[in-house]
Structure 1
Amino acid sequence: MKILVVDDDNKIRSLVKIQLEGAGYEVIQASEAMEALALLEEENPALAIVDVMMPGMDGFALTEELKSFRDMPVLLLTAKGALEDKERGFRAGSDDYVVKPFEPKELLFRVAAILRRYGKEAGSVISVGPLQIDKGSYEVHCGKRTLLLPLKEFELLVILASRPNVVFERELLLARVWGLEYEGDDRTLSVHIKRIRDRLETLTDQVRIVTVRGVGYKLEEIS
């Protein structure tokens, strides 16, 4: 499922892109409104995340354009938190309004809620071998057995399972799960991966996490 992110701040676009891709969405980016409108000729995003303060056409005007073009769901993302700004955003047709600085996980919850209202919710279960990874309940099922993982471990497993047999770099996994500003020891990632390995071994021997030395990790299905 594609999501259009429109913001003139490259750092914000990168942060939002990392979080959305980690949740399984495909991200299309634009740095201003006219670029975003041009992309609509080629792409068919399910939702747009739009910054209010942009050069040229602002986010309020872009929201009106998106709504008139194909009634696209819109989430406004902005540093403005005044009540009158929120009112203007909703009058323009936005479906939700998130104020910077924001908690990335909250953004994902709000995106999912909007997509549910429009009947566009992405599939919430990832299947890899005998594993069924339920992103809605945070449960991992294997046959009649169910495993509950701590949040960070579950997020790592979802990312790896979203593209089986594809290697994810350590830096990318750290950014997606702990955020771009994470300054801790990357041994934290190694510890979490080991814990996931140990848990998966109690469920099945058909799926494993493989270390690619010097690069990162991949989830491998063993036939």
Structure 2
Amino acid sequence: MRILIVDDDVELSGLLRFALANAGYEAIAAFDGHQALRMIEAQAPDLVVLDVNLPGLDGFAVLETLRRTRDLPVMMLTVRADEEDEVRGLDLGADDYLRKPFSPRALLARVRALLRRGGEGEEPVLAAGPLRIDAERSQAQVGDGAPVRLSTLELRLLRLLLGHQGRPVDAQRVIGFVWSDRDAADRDALKQLVHRLRHKLEQIGGQGAWIEHVHNVGYAFVRDPDVGGADVPAVDTPPAAERPDRS
């Protein structure tokens, strides 16, 4: 697997390439936005690690240009603490966001998660009532409506919860599955991911397809009986103290 590191910090770029090479990846580097776009065309990387603050063409502009023609996984890096920047990157099509400083272990865990999109042995299309998930295209669609693109992490989260329809999945198990490492993310990151996925499902008319929070447990995919009917069986319904509530 070939990974492109796009960062104008030469020292950091070297450290990231060293860590990735030790993990068995082929790591290449670009140091500005224009060079990054040229290397994406010439080298066809499997994943891009993209810094927001780049000379000339910043990371947002690179991502926006990239998404017009390609759908490869992109993880953005930033030193900024402004949540608006993170939301902007995700809205433009970033698959994950990592704030500096970070550990090589966290980076590698997230890289593994992003590269496992549409992994072997998984059904390419899943359905729950009118909701259809196309893993190969990284899309969700309700009925004949327009599809919405899912990031790699959103897709992994939805696939996990769909595999346990009507049953809550422990939050730490979700974190370990989605990010491949329980130390690579925390519950706040999971809450943000759930929020983005809920918003996308609502955008495409998925009022009956909800990601629910189960107090002191985790999250569950359930059908809203008031909207979508009972086509998903209520398997292993949790006791009253653990029943899903919107959070």
> TM-score, normalization: structure 2?
0.47
Q: Residue in 2 aligned with 1:45?
A: 45
Q: Residue in 1 aligned with 2:87?
A: 87
Query: How many angstroms does 1:78 deviate by?
Result: 1.1
Query: How many angstroms does 1:69 deviate by?
Result: 2.3
What amino acid is the match of 2:40?
Answer: L
Q: Residue in 1 aligned with 2:5?
A: 5
8 Å CA contact retained: 1:61, 1:92:
no
Change (3 A) 1:34 1:84: same
* 3-state SS of paired residue (1:35): helix
Q: How many residues align?
A: 120
8 Å CA contact retained: 1:6, 1:33:
yes
8 Å CA contact retained: 1:75, 1:97:
yes
User: Which runs of 5 or more structure 1 residues have no equivalent in the other structure?
Assistant: 121-223
Change (3 A) 1:110 1:90: same
* 3-state SS of paired residue (1:29): strand
C-alpha distance in 1 between matches for 2:24 and 2:69: 26
Q: Residue in 1 aligned with 2:76?
A: 76
Q: After superposition, where does 1:1-223 map in structure 2 within 5 Å? A: 1-119=1-119
Query: How many angstroms does 1:81 deviate by?
Result: 2.4
Q: Residue in 2 aligned with 1:211?
A: none
Deviations 1:20-65 (A, max 9, x none): 1011000111000111111123211000000000111111111122
* 3-state SS of paired residue (1:86): helix
What amino acid is the match of 1:52?
Answer: V
The worse-fitting range, judged by mean Cα deviation, of 99-108 and 33-42 is 33-42
Q: How many percent identity over aligned positions?
A: 47
* 3-state SS of paired residue (1:70): coil
Change (3 A) 1:29 1:87: same
Deviations 1:129-158 (A, max 9, x none): xxxxxxxxxxxxxxxxxxxxxxxxxxxxxx
What amino acid is the match of 2:10?
Answer: N
Deviations 1:131-190 (A, max 9, x none): xxxxxxxxxxxxxxxxxxxxxxxxxxxxxxxxxxxxxxxxxxxxxxxxxxxxxxxxxxxx
Query: How many angstroms does 1:118 deviate by?
Result: 4.6
| Alignment RMSD | 1.4
Query: How many angstroms does 1:2 deviate by?
Result: 0.4
* 3-state SS of paired residue (2:93): coil
What amino acid is the match of 2:111?
Answer: V
C-alpha distance in 2 between matches for 1:30 and 1:89: 19
Tell me: higher relative CO, structure 1 or 2? Use CA pairs within 8 A at least 6 residues apart.
1
C-alpha distance in 2 between matches for 1:70 and 1:102: 27
Change (3 A) 1:69 1:100: same
C-alpha distance in 1 between matches for 2:118 and 2:102: 24
User: Which runs of 5 or more structure 2 residues have no equivalent in the other structure?
Assistant: 121-247
